[in-house]
Amino acid sequence: MGFAELLDRVGGLGRFQIIQLIMLCIPIFLMAGHNLLQNFSAAIPDHKCKVNESATLNTSLKDGDGWQTLFSLTDGNGKLDGCFERIQIQQKLVTSNTSWQNATYIDTIPCRNGWEYDRKEFSSTIITEWDLVCSNKHKRQLAQSIYMAGVLAGAIILGGLSDKYGRRAMLIWSYLQMAISGTCTAFSPNYLSYCVFRFLVGMSLSGISLNTTALIVEWVPTKVRTIVGTIAGYCYTAGQLLLAGLAYGIRDWRWLQLAISIPFIIFFFYSWWFPESARWLVLSGNPEKAVKVIKNVAVFNGKKEEAEKITLESLKSDMVKEVACGKETYSIVDLVRTSTLRRISCFVSFVWFSTSFSYYGLAMDLQKFGISIYLVQVIFGSVDIPAKLVSTACMIYIGRRVTQCASLILGGLAVLANIFVPTDLQILRTSLAVFGKGCFASSFSCVFLYTTEMYPTVVRQSGLGLGSTMARMGGIVAPLVKMLGGFYPFLPLAIYGAAPIISGLLVYFLPETVNKPLPDTIEDVELGSKTQAKQKKELVPLESQTNTVPQELKDGHEK
């Protein structure tokens, strides 16, 4: 009997598991807020060059509508250019009778006195705080990339430490780090300190995500893992809607940052109630403490009789398989040790990268759609609900490979289609982007399960770690690609659309895993690959035989 059967004996999905699941899922609502926060905290309001109050101009000219005509440039649509101003011959304008519209100008120069911002929609953002516009506009995307780099660093550092010091300890630390670094971000005095604290926020978010998943999965029976995983996923979806509501009510970026950071202080205090994973305790050589923890859980679930039966000897006999697996050592090198695993690792890495790359490419620039940014956030968050349902149904009835391939290719095509849609057709552009984002959400749901089923048990965590790392790399690169829009406006969309299409085609070369047993060893993966290849080869002779037999029978009949 393994640990899964032991969990069933001490209550299965009992009172303890339900309470723990609720307490672990509540912080997930705010994790989406930190991931997508810069849609609002780094929103770019309309801006124009600030008036030089010391200019030798008539008061009536500075206060009247003629100022914009004189000093500010406009584009072909009549919209103000917020980066340049005209240089006029002031003496001529004061003494001449020439109308303001016909005045002549020497040249245009970048704004000399700073910028004036339209504060109707956003009272304050990091853009207005530190003038991250015009020549400094690239710093907006850079800040998001630094945050995603923190997410990657957290996955590597905190994920590794959780295997050494335990899931509970690192989750408690991650909650505390999130509370402190998130609060410090809200009080950042300058752009550099903002980026440093956002990097630390990203690290703590990875620690929370990885250890929350581990505690949920390792404390619930196998038969309900899909259900609790879906619940956690929908908490993240609901968090996107919560962010839209908070941002609509809190228009100052510092207060918004505080609103999604302060609650982690509460999470830090109640996280001390969580027990350590009993499975980790056994595998890390501390079975005595594991016995104590399991007994407490059994009593909490109302299984006192079962609690009394659990001893150190019975636990060791129940978890013989887990202990044996723990004695074997594998590394990330084993992911490329054989030809089949090399192919899986290469293609799966590109699928994770392109999904995250295109997902954040769409989700992190909501202002480009020209409608209410709050409404777009609600729509983008809501589309994940049906997308994940459709993805789940397709994975069950059609298969993982077809679902993964279709979601990537359809999402990429939707992004590419927006290149050819005129900018004035905002409803159509938004609809295509929402459809694409839903496809990438489906891809995320599929690739996690698909990756789990392709890798053998002995390197499954390493395979998921590789995929997670590539996804975070995609999140880092996605904001940087937006900078290419300054050279060719269509280029970011072309890249965001091409990457998932290419990875979708590569999925064709991956094995189908629906209704197939999980491989336990690397040899199982290689054997399964050879079996599928043999079955494909045998199809050709069968078809030939099917075509020739009727002819032979026909000839014999004629004779």
Residues 107 and 182 in one domain: no
Query: Which segment of 38-47, 49-58, 255-264, 416-425 scores lowest on mean pLDDT?
Result: 49-58
Q: Is residue 483 part of a domain?
A: yes
pLDDT of residue 272: 92
pLDDT at 171: 92
Q: Are residues 497 and 369 in the same domain?
A: yes
Vertex 369: Cα angle to 364 and 375 (nearest 5): 80
In a domain, 422, yes or no: yes
| Among candidate residues 267, 162, 176, the one with its CA nearest the CA of residue 215 | 162
Domain boundary (240, 258, 274) is at: 274
Structure tokens at 275: 């027990």
Helix (H) or strand (E) holding 62: helix 59-63
For residues 368 and 351, state if they share a domain. yes
Give which of 268, 274, 315, 272 is closest to 17, Cα–Cα.
274
Residues 233 and 377 in one domain: no
Long-range contact pairs involving 236-240 (C-beta distance under 8 Å, separation at least 24)? 236/28, 236/29, 236/31, 236/32, 237/32, 237/381, 237/384, 237/385, 237/388, 238/29, 238/381, 239/28, 239/29, 239/30, 239/31, 239/32, 239/33, 239/381, 240/32, 240/36, 240/377, 240/380, 240/381, 240/384
287 in a structural domain: no
DSSP state of 117: E
Residues 485/492, Cβ–Cβ less than 8 Å: yes
CATH number for position 477: 1.20.1250.20
**Same domain for 124 and 113?**
no
* pLDDT single digits (tens) 408-434: 999 999 999 988 888 778 788 888 888
Same domain, 358 and 417: yes
In a domain, 304, yes or no: no
**What's residue 559's pLDDT?**
41
DSSP letters for 267-282:
HHHHGGGSPPPHHHHH
In this predicted structure, what is the pLDDT of residue 16? 86
Q: Is the pLDDT of residue 41 over 60?
A: yes
Which of the residue ranges 150-159, 319-328, 540-549 would you say has the lowest mean pLDDT?
Answer: 540-549
Q: Where are the alpha helices (DSSP H) in 250-370?
A: 253-259, 263-270, 278-283, 287-300, 304-309, 312-318, 320-327, 339-363
Q: What is the pLDDT of residue 80?
A: 54
- Is residue 219 assigned to a domain? yes
Amino acid 103: pLDDT:
47
pLDDT number for residue 458 = 66
| pLDDT tops 70 at residue 74 | no
Domain boundary among 68, 88, 117: 117
pLDDT score for 460: 72
* Number of domains comprising the chain: 3
Name the least confident of 133-142, 291-300, 436-445, 515-524.
Answer: 515-524
CA angle 417, 396, 440 (to 5 degrees): 25
Cβ 13 vs Cβ 224: under 8 Å:
yes
Residue 81 has pLDDT above 50, yes or no: yes
Closest listed residue to residue 72, CA positions, set 32, 14, 111, 125:
111
On the question of pLDDT at 313 being above 80, the answer is no
Beta-bridged to residue 252, according to DSSP, are 124
E-strand ranges in 40-113 read: 47-49, 72-74, 80-88, 105-110
Give yes or no: residues 429 and 351 share one domain: yes
Q: Is it the case that residue 133 has pLDDT exceeding 90? A: no
* H or E element that contains 502: helix 491-506
Report yes or no on 519 lying in a domain. Answer: yes
Res. 407: pLDDT tops 90: yes
- The verdict on 177 and 103 lying in the same domain is no
Residue 104: pLDDT above 50? no
Q: Is residue 258 part of a domain?
A: yes
Q: How far apart are CA 502 and CA 505, in angstroms?
A: 5
Per DSSP, the residues of 173-207 read: HHHHHHHHHHHHHHT-SSHHHHHHHHHHHHHHHHH
Per-residue b/e over 199-216, b at no fewer than 16 CB within 10 Å? Answer: bbbbbbbbbbbbbbbbbb
- Terminal-to-terminal C-alpha distance of the chain: 67
* pLDDT tens-digit readout, 339-381: 888 899 899 999 999 998 988 888 776 666 667 788 888 888 8
Residues 217 and 107 in one domain: no
Higher pLDDT, 284 or 96: 284
Q: Last residue of a domain, which of 117, 139, 171?
A: 117
Same-domain check for residues 406 and 474: yes
Mean of pLDDT values over 34-43: 86
- Ranking 257-271, 368-382, 533-547 by mean pLDDT, the lowest is 533-547
pLDDT of residue 181: 95
Q: What is the pLDDT of residues 293-303, one digit of tens each?
A: 888 888 888 87
In a domain, 494, yes or no: yes
pLDDT at 255 (0 to 100): 94
Range of the domain at 53: 47-117
Average pLDDT, the chain: 78
Q: Do 475 and 380 share a structural domain?
A: yes
Both 105 and 148 in one domain: the answer is no
Mean pLDDT of 225-252: 85
- The count of other CB atoms within 10 Å of the CB of residue 180 is 18
